Amino acid sequence: MTTETLIWLIPLPPLLAFFLIVLFTNRSRGLSHTIAIGAAFLSWLGSMVVFLRAIQTHELGKHPFSASIPWLPLGEGWFSIGVLIDPLGAATLFFVAWTILMIFIYSVGYHNYGQPEGDHDRKGLPPHGATVVDEHGHQHTVPSVEPMYSRFFAFIGLFAFGMYLLVVSDNLLTLFVGWEIMGLCSYLLIGFWYGKPSARAAMIKAFITTRVGDVFMLLGIAYLYSQTGTLNFREILYSQEVLDSLASTPSYIAGLSAAALIGILLFIGTVGKSAQFPLHVWLPDAMEGPTPVSAMIHAATMVSAGVYMVIRIFPLLSAGSHHGALTAPMIVMAIIGAGTALFAATIAVAQNDIKRVLAYSTISQLGYMVAALGIGAYIAAAFHLITHAFFKALLFLGSGSVIHGMEHGVLHTDDHIDPQNMLNMGGLRKKMPITFWTFLIGGFALAGFPLVTAGFWSKDEILADAFGHAHYGVFITLALAALLTAFYTMRQITLTFLGEPRTKAAEHAQETPWTMTLPLVILAVFAVSAGWVGIPEHFPLLGGVVPNWFHEFVGETLLEKPKGVEFNPIPLLTSIVVALGGIYLGWLVYRNVKAGEVDPLEKPLGALYPVLRNKYYFDELYELIFIRPSIWVSEVFTYLWIDRKFIDGILHVVADVSVKVGAFLRNYIDKPVVNGSGDLVADVTKSSGRSMRVIQTGRIQQYMMMALVGFVVLSGIFYYIVQRMGVQ
Amino acid sequence: MQFPILSFIVFTPIVAALIIFLIPEDRKGEVRVAALAASAFALVLSIWVYFAYDVGVGGYQFVEQVSWIPALGISYKVGLDGMNAPLVLLTGVVMFTGVLISWGIDDRPREFFTFLFILATGVFGVFVSLDLFMLFFFYEIAVFPMYLLISIWGWKETREYAAMKLTLYLFVGSVIALVGALAMYFTAGLGTFDMLELERAGFSREFQILWFPFVFIGFGVLGGIFPFHNWSPDGHVAAPTAVSMFHAGVLMKLGAFAALRVGLMLLPEGAKFHMGWIILLTLVNVVYGAFIASVQTDFKYVIGFSSVSHMGLVLMGFATLTREGFIGSGIQMFSHGVMTALFFAVVGMVYDQAHTREIPKLGGFRKVMPMVAIAFIIGGLVSMGMPGFSGFIAEFPIFMGVWKSYPLIAIIAAISIVITASYIIRVVGRVFYGKMPEEFEGHVHDVTVLDKIALLFLSFILIALGVFPGWMVPLVESGVDTILRLLGGA
């Protein structure tokens, strides 16, 4: 099989699985997850083969794997759709395939496969547990299987299809198709437990917020197409001519080139999808979905897709840049990215829900990547995208495992506490050792623990790039964010796993089954090793021992391979200090939190704490400035005032006047003559429609007569005018 | 002489109407069977003629001409091109599915189907007419039965008001357009109503600028152009299900199509002069309709106002005067027609079971009528412009065209996509998901097989066009070439 054929086939198995499960096997849980995981495995296998062939291909950047077929006839020629795997695509495919397969396997355990059905479980609500009687006659409450088990696998199958489609696309349009499919699936999956009102609200919020970004992206696509007549990556991004002409064409907005405006519009799509400020509000609420969904959406796939897209179109974003000067879209990205990175990190510090901390951390890390791209650190951004996908998927799955273990404790002790609140945990390292160690690895990678973790290498590269190119503002912001990241990560680890259990439920927490821990272990391996492929050449001691393969490989995607920055000890020292300092501080502050105590930071932070805790009141602000006014505009202004009062009002006045005029004419001027059609029209115009009552008697002939009369009258007028004016 | 396929399509419904009218009133079963047979026949013919059209050759095909009133230059002349072929197909589809879901009508089905079919003849006639007089003639045939269908079989609360409002609006609109058409006839001095000849009449620029608004806005009323859109939501709501399907699905296209054929194609200079402000009206349509739809509590009004919004996109595509805009609008007419027919069918099915259309009072219908829920979701995805469904194939070129000429308008119009998504998911969430109210438990049942066939058929078309746009886009493009030639290659 040629590599191109294989690439075409990669997205299909999950799609097929979706249809198979929905149509045929939704009654059998085992069959459904076998099909879904089998499909994910096939896609994974295909991806690995493609990846291996890609890294063996000499100069893949110049000769990527690609193929296309004509699909939509537009303008002069056909719009072709096809597949493309270049170095960036191959690297993305690698991490997407691994994380998706792991998440699929994990879902089996997470949804309690093999457990009894719940006593009172209903579709659309999380399982509440089942009562079983053991051989000694004791009653136990154990976790029960998810009531919509098969449907979950169908949805994630469709989701995986969207992601694979996006990665293998050779053009913006099919990329957008994959993008939208994922948007739809995330809507369905966030609201998977649609019985919970909070989940319903979250699904709507996520969909609408990302849709705002999508609309601008669509405009960007339309603009790009109308400028260049193509949406194919190779024809636009690999062609210096096209890029130059886009960069020199002025756009509708003064001072911006067409390339810049297109870039900004497309970037707004990323702002929505990757939850960047100011469209970040949906992501924390999206935690209402089941945990594997959070990992899918917020680590491996959907949010990464946003960053992947901007990395993909980087040549367009930087078109027209001379000697490393930043273009308008790059400045926008640097500001929004760095700002989001810091802003979200501060919120994460004050969250107590284990998943919400990770959600804000994701927003913050995505901001890192966006900022990196904004300052032109193309490879660093791609590198962080990949390492982050591994360790964040690990952390989300790990947190799911913690919640699962806690739920077990809650059911066992009948102590109804919130199993997601970290203040209710503590001491879980003894109960859940595998989860603990893997979570620790993931957490340290996120914190950027020096040398051994993947997160260190990718984060360090971003900081080194920012410093090396003298973007000190970005450098300082990101360094501060890194400090906070290390702090809240250690806070999370300390509160969850270290110290003593703070509740009875935490005492009875239990390690999760192998289907959940195996993916954790595999992802943990990547959370460490994924960093080794990108160690800079000039790094003290380690540099050059392992070649900087990632830089060489992915760098080829660009027309002009970017140069690595000179080694400088300042950013390196900074990243080591913030990582270790943050970790130490986190441990120091939270190591002694006792049961029932509040967060130790609450007092010293004073008035700032509630602000952070309430996420800077953005939800409330948006409610006030967007949601309420738009309801008012639609309900009161447009519908009631304009539509019903003004337009209909005019109509009714006209009708009324014509009735009155008719009455006047009839009574005072020409009663016998105006008895005909004019009066009829005027009379029935009145909304009361009194004369229409005749119709309900069912005398069809009358209607026919009316139709005929109307027609004859019209023809009569016509004929009269024709006769009068004469035929020339 | 070739086989007069277009005449067969146009006159099948009216002949069927006559036959149905001869069936004794109490034999309702026979009436239904006859109606179904006739509509199936018309559908097959329209599918056949659609695929028999040779895109490579282009232009008007299957042309038939019979002189009618030679003294005035009126002749019966019909033909098919890339713009009207999808609409003929659409009419066939809506007619067939409309009959399927009207199977349960028990109140004088004979008269109902008779009027419905007279209407269908009028609609087919307008789409294929190449003679200006015949176009008006068929137009009136299409409008009159509407009045009767709504006022007799409509929703008791508002049917008289709505029927009258609708008829007056459409009548006034057509009279305004008629004045413009007569002006053209006399000024051209060719003594013919043949539109192909009038295209070459060489009207002066001043003449075109003067009369274009009459014709375009006059027909635009039926296309639901702001601020003359108000008849349409009221009309949709009051009409019985099949009539709503026809009304929103096909009749509104009649307005848009006639505005294109008579306004734009005969008075291209006028179009170029006036489109700058007309596009603002259509922008209001698009955004305003979506806003209003988002706050309606009556299920049917939501769909009614969404039609106003989507038809605004059709007219907006025309108003861009770009190739992309025309292509998008051509497809949008078809896509929206099928989609809205699907929507109204679903609303009708829910109403038949629940006897209310108040969205807050509904809920949980997915459980009892899963297929209806899925069909509605498919329609919803089309309406949001989701890629992979026909709505995207239509709206993407429209936005591209708008962006080319008026980027700011494109941005504002794009707001409607977000609002559309919000009201569609609100309806899906409230009506089909959520908790079913107590009083419906056990009283609400699944729809009939015929209903399911209709839904399946409509959904299939929407997906087929979204995934394989190749069977419609080149055809519409060939029609657009003709328009662009008239516009002077603009």
Q: Look at phi and psi of residue A351 and say left if phi exceeds 0, alpha if psi is from -120 to 50, else beta.
A: beta
pLDDT at B47: 92
Select from A166, A208, A211 the residue whose CB has the most chain B CBs within 10 Å, as the one to mutate to test that interface: A211
Residues of A in contact with B422 (CB under 8 A): 204, 208
Answer whether A150's CB lies under 8 Å from A21's CB.
yes
Q: Are the CB atoms for B92 and B40 separated by under 8 Å?
A: no
Which of A72, A639, A725 has the CB atom closest to B295's CB atom? Answer: A639
* pLDDT at B162 > cutoff 50: yes
* Residue A353 β-bridge partners: A421
What does each C-alpha distance from B22 to B16, B17, B34, B175, B239 come to in angstroms? 10, 9, 11, 34, 25
Q: How confident is the model at residue B176 (pLDDT cuts 50, 70, 90)?
A: confident
Q: Do B160 and A692 touch (CB under 8 A)?
A: yes
Residue A466 predicted with pLDDT over 60: yes
What mean pLDDT comes out for the span A219-226?
Answer: 86
In this complex, which of B230, B410, B417 lies closest to A643 when CB atoms are compared? B230
pLDDT of the residue at A670: 53
- What pLDDT does residue B29 have? 79
Answer whether residue B333 shows pLDDT above 90: yes
For residue A574, the model assigns a pLDDT of 86
Amino acid B179 reads V
Region A608-615 average pLDDT:
78
Give the nearest partner residue to B291 out of A634, A698, A718, using CB atoms: A634
**pLDDT reading at A73 higher than 70:** no
Most confident among A352-356, A481-485, B356-360 (mean pLDDT): A481-485
Residue A675 vs residue A185, higher pLDDT: A185
Count CB-CB contacts under 10 A for residue B303.
Answer: 30
> Which residue from A minimizes the CA distance to B69?
A719
Determine the Cα–Cα distance for residues B402 and A222; give it in Å rounded to an integer: 9
pLDDT in tens, B400-420: 888 888 888 888 888 888 888
Instruction: Say whether pLDDT at A724 is over 70.
Output: no
Does position A606 have pLDDT exceeding 80, yes or no?
Answer: no
A252·B426 Cβ contact <8 A: no
When pLDDT is cut at 50, 70 and 90, the band that residue A692 belongs to is: very low
Kindly report, residue by residue over A74-101, the tens digit of the pLDDT: 656 677 888 888 888 888 999 899 989 9
**Domains in chain B: how many in total?**
1
- pLDDT value at residue B488: 78
So what's the pLDDT on residue B490?
43
| Chain B residues close to A216, C-beta within 8 Å | 411, 414
Q: What would the mean pLDDT of A291-298 be, rounded to a whole number?
A: 76
From the list B148, B387, B470, the residue facing A73 with the nearest CB is: B470
Residue A723 with chain B: CB contacts under 8 Å: none
A219 contacts chain B (CB < 8 A): yes
- A420 CA: distance to closest CA in chain B (Å): 26
Which chain B residues are Cβ-neighbours of A635 within 8 angstroms?
295
Return the number of other C-beta atoms located less than 10 Å from residue A463's C-beta: 25
Tens digits of per-residue pLDDT, A502-554? 888 778 778 888 888 888 898 888 888 887 777 777 777 676 666 777 777 77
B411 contacts A219? CB cut-off 8 A: yes
Which of B159, B292, B323, B327 to substitute to test the interface with A, most A CBs within 10 Å? B292
State how far residue A707 is from chain B, nearest Cα, in angstroms. Answer: 6
Cα dihedral sign, A460-A463-A467-A469 = positive
Residues forming beta bridges with residue A141, ordered by sequence position? A131
Average pLDDT over residues B318-330: 90
Interface of A with B in 71-90 (CB under 8 A): 71-75
CB A226 to CB B410 under 8 A?
no
The alpha carbon dihedral of A564, A568, A574, A580 has a sign of positive
Q: Is A713 at the interface with chain B, CB within 8 A?
A: no
Residue pLDDT, tens place only, A712-722: 666 666 566 55
pLDDT tens, B367-390? 788 888 889 989 998 998 888 889
Which residues of chain B lie closer than 8 angstroms to A173, CB-CB?
387
Mean pLDDT of A358-382: 89
* Averaged pLDDT of chain B: 86
Please state which of the ranges A263-267, A474-478, B291-295 shows the lowest mean pLDDT: B291-295
Give me the domain span that covers residue B163.
5-486
Q: Which residues of A touch B403 (CB under 8 A)?
A: 219, 222-223, 226
A687 pLDDT band, cuts 50/70/90, is very low
Report d(CA B480, CA B84) in Å as an integer. 11
Chain B closest-CA separation from residue A147 CA (Å)? 15
ipTM: 0.74
